[in-house]
Amino acid sequence: MLKEDFMWALYFRHDCQLFDESRKIPKADLEFILDAGRLSSSKGGARWKFVVARNPEAKSALRQACTNPQQISSSSAAIAILAFRSEPGASQHHIAAANMMTAAAAIGIDSCPVTGFDQGRAKNALGIESGEYEVALILPLGYRIKPQPPKQYMPLSDLVEYR
């Protein structure tokens, strides 16, 4: 990937609040995104697990656990990132999420990380009975239905100090 391609993906990505329900993500593209998450572990060992809600029943059950259900219900797929409770690096699920969002953006797919949900209801909706896992984040994916709002980035010179 060229630097320009990577930067394009970063500019493309935004927290999409409403997806086009008529457009479905092809399985190969979804697996590309999931693979970006899989490859995010620096040691190659899984520090997380992914559960994909793709059918309407699974998404309907999951949206009942979320504070902003529109993102879940309009998405083509919603990936729940599960953290292993016993794993010391389980909190690093955000690395997998960030890489999946950037991978999705690189191929023109939108995302929006969801952290507002009821843990018990989310686990129940996903059929997670084991106390070994905790739902760390839900990542709805799809295609935007509205144009992306303009972004206002601070200049790099205001964010960086060299010492």
| 107-124: pLDDT as tens digits | 999 999 999 999 999 999
- With tokens 């509205």, the residue in question is 146
**HSE, side-chain direction, 13 A CA sphere, residue 22:** 1
**Residue 80 contacts residue 123 (beta carbons within 8 Å):** no
> Domain ranges in the chain?
3-145
Please, which pLDDT band fits residue 130 given cuts at 50, 70 and 90? confident
Domain 3-145 classification at class level: alpha beta
User: Which H or E run includes 137?
Assistant: strand 133-142
- The Cα–Cα gap between 13 and 117 comes to 22
Q: What is the pLDDT of residues 82-101, one digit of tens each?
A: 988 776 665 688 999 999 99
Closest C-alpha to 96, from 106, 104, 108? 104
